């Protein structure tokens, strides 16, 4: 069996960390919102149903991320594709956050053109590195050998029929 490549390690750790951060944010926001939702639900019951459905969808996303990490550990071919999907979703969220920054007073502002240029170069470098991680995670020969490790021990049907 092939050893786990470094791109798989990095991808799996990144997916797990993002999933844990999302789970923590869901728990924090739920603790803050549920008393308000319960008070508002006294007047309108549909608010409680919608909030419950939203929480259920968030829990399903957290379960999907956790299952993806497990599938990657088990060398399942689905882990490879679900891992790529999770990495693509992380990239989409980061791209969205960079294209539409919040108007909060806590965001960084750049004072001159040199700072803006340096931030742009750093951003392009990070995106290029992340895209390279995604390609290596999903399509490198070491990654293909790792995810084929479970199925490599099983003889194929075509070999038996010949």
Question: Which residues are within 8 A (CB) of 1 and not within 5 positions of it... i.e. 6 or more apart?
Answer: 75, 149, 152, 153
pLDDT, one tens digit per residue, over 87-110 is 999 999 999 988 888 887 777 788
pLDDT, one tens digit per residue, over 108-149 is 788 899 999 998 999 999 999 999 999 999 999 999 999 987
Q: What is the mean pLDDT of the chain?
A: 89
Answer whether 36's CB lies under 8 Å from 89's CB. no
Give the residue carrying structure tokens 């050893």: 3
Q: Is residue 152 part of a domain?
A: no
Cβ–Cβ contacts within 10 Å for residue 147, how many?
24
Asked if pLDDT for residue 162 goes beyond 50, the answer is no
Q: Is residue 68 part of a domain?
A: yes
Q: Is residue 154 part of a domain?
A: no
Total number of domains constituting the chain = 1
Which residue segment(s) compose the domain that 34 sits in? Answer: 6-100+112-147
């Amino acid at each position: 069996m092939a050893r786990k490549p470094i791109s798989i390690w990095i991808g799996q750790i990144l997916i797990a960390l993002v999933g844990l951060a999302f789970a923590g944010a869901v728990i924090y926001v739920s603790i803050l919102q549920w008393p308000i939702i319960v008070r508002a639900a006294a007047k309108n019951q549909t608010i409680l149903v919608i909030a419950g459905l939203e929480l259920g969808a968030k829990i399903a996303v957290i379960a999907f991320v956790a299952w993806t990490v497990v599938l990657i550990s088990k060398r399942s071919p689905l882990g490879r594709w679900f891992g790529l999907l999770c990495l693509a979703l992380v990239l989409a969220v980061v791209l969205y956050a960079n294209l539409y920054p919040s108007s909060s007073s806590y965001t960084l502002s750049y004072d001159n053109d040199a700072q803006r240029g340096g931030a742009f170069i750093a951003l392009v470098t990070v995106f290029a590195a992340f895209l390279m991680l995604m390609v290596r995670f999903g399509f490198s020969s070491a990654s293909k050998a790792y995810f084929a490790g479970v199925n490599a021990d099983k003889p194929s049907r075509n070999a038996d029929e010949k």
